[in-house]
Structure 1
Amino acid sequence: MKRELTKILNLPGIIVKSKKEIEKTLILEVEASSNTACCPGCQKVSNRLHQNHWHLVKDMAWAEKEVFLRVNRRQFKCDYCLKPFSEELSFVKKRQKYTKRYARLVTEEVINSNLLNVAKRHNLTEEEVDRSRDVKSRACGQLDSRVESMINQVSREIFPISLKNLKRLGIDEITLVKGQGKFIIVLVDLDTGKLIGLIPERKAKTLEKYLTSWEEDILNQIEEVIRSPDLKSGEARMTRFPSKYGYV
């Protein structure tokens, strides 16, 4: 059963130790399959387990069941520099309350819907989906500042994906909450329909910086750029882009 659950979970290098079901919620206890970890200080491999640290993170649902992972982020003691350190887990950041793939799923749903509907569907607050909406509350300590916006996390860490075959670029902007002026810019490969980039603010300079950070070969291979009507005027106008790339 554990082997089958590990296969279904499909997180490389992670095994399921046990499971618990509470009504429509499934809790899986998981940890890394390797018994070693690399010290971030001296880069030496250690197998000297120091402590276990368990915490809950939310993952993608299975059928109708809400899924939480009880993750053991183990702490090791380095035999070389003699310092304790926590292992790195590729599927979830330290102190994060959701997996990276769950953050991406929610972000993609927001792009195709809106913040409020997606938050309700996933039983999240709007602030958990887009932490940038309530800066005042965060400053007052009402929100956990360590928990980053899902949208910001996806835009910084997961995107862009491979761009080697990008020929036709679509640039669009969507509103997260109607009537509140909160927009993000979305970049799409028009030939595959895949989301390839996400910019969590509606500013031309930010968009320019993002695109010009791509390699020269990527920019030169783009044959067509299609923009939404809203991006042709107003604050997101891209008149400062190099004309040779067709962004003007």
Structure 2
Amino acid sequence: MDFHLDTLLNLPNVVVDSYSNTLDAVILKLQLINDGINCPNCNEYICKTHQTRPILVRYLSVFGQLVYLKVPRRQFYCPNCQTSPTEPLSWLNKKQRQTNRYQEYIYEKVRELTVKQVSENERMSEDAIQDIFHKVAQSKKKTGGYLND
């Protein structure tokens, strides 16, 4: 689509395929540009896609609008070990509905403001904000730094 959006997102192996918007949200449909992955079980390079399930993931807001990424979650088939691993993404942890960058942002905001204020600003529940804060705090304890981007 437009390389400027790709550059602004700054996510590895990703291009913006298209976008749509509503009154208060922008949805960027992503395309993953790598052909395959190394199987986490046997390390064989695999490029046969078993299935793709798109998910909607929260990203940093821009110009007062919420931003969501429509991410194609690809599952590959490894004929060598007969497994179907899901493609790992360095900027999105497994079973997560927010990018690591967005979670970092929430963590920093909660350090400045109250959970209630962040909840209102981000239009998310207080429980979701607290969960993100605690998850990032735990990760920082373990690694001593930031989440992967």
- Structure 2 length-normalised TM: 0.89
- Letter paired with 2:96: Q
Pairing 1:225-244 to 2, within 5 Å after superposition: none
What do residues 73-97 of structure 1 show as CA deviations (whole Å, max 9, x unaligned)?
1011113112111100111112211
- Letter paired with 1:61: S
Work out the CA distance in 2 between the residues paired with 1:51 and 1:152: 33
Q: Tell whether 2:84 aligns with 1:100.
A: no
Work out the CA distance in 1 between the residues paired with 2:80 and 2:139: 31
- Letter paired with 1:154: V
The answer to whether the 8 A contact 1:26-1:67 is kept is yes
Deviation for aligned residue 1:29: 1.0
Q: Secondary structure at the match of 1:129?
A: helix
Aligned to 1:45: 45
Aligned to 1:79: 79
Structure 1: runs of 5+ lacking an equivalent = 131-148, 162-195, 197-248
Match of 2:144 among 160, 163, 169: 160
Deviation for aligned residue 1:2: 2.9
Work out the CA distance in 1 between the residues paired with 2:127 and 2:29: 27
Structure 2: runs of 5+ lacking an equivalent = none
Work out the CA distance in 1 between the residues paired with 2:135 and 2:7: 26
Relative contact order higher in (CA < 8 Å, ≥ 6 apart): 2
Work out the CA distance in 2 between the residues paired with 1:12 and 1:160: 23
The answer to whether the 8 A contact 1:103-1:150 is kept is yes
Q: Secondary structure at the match of 2:134?
A: helix
Deviation for aligned residue 1:49: 1.2
Q: Secondary structure at the match of 2:60?
A: strand
Q: Tell whether 2:26 aligns with 1:9.
A: no
The answer to whether the 8 A contact 1:31-1:73 is kept is no
Work out the CA distance in 1 between the residues paired with 2:74 and 2:2: 20
Taking only the aligned residue pairs, the percentage that are identical comes to 27
Aligned to 1:219: none
- Letter paired with 1:47: C
Aligned to 1:151: 133
Aligned to 1:185: none
Q: Secondary structure at the match of 1:109?
A: helix
Q: Tell whether 2:47 aligns with 1:63.
A: no
What do residues 135-166 of structure 1 show as CA deviations (whole Å, max 9, x unaligned)?
xxxxxxxxxxxxxx2112212335523xxxxx
What do residues 156-213 of structure 1 show as CA deviations (whole Å, max 9, x unaligned)?
335523xxxxxxxxxxxxxxxxxxxxxxxxxxxxxxxxxx8xxxxxxxxxxxxxxxxx
Aligned to 1:33: 33
The answer to whether the 8 A contact 1:17-1:29 is kept is yes
- Structure 1 length-normalised TM: 0.55
Work out the CA distance in 2 between the residues paired with 1:129 and 1:151: 6
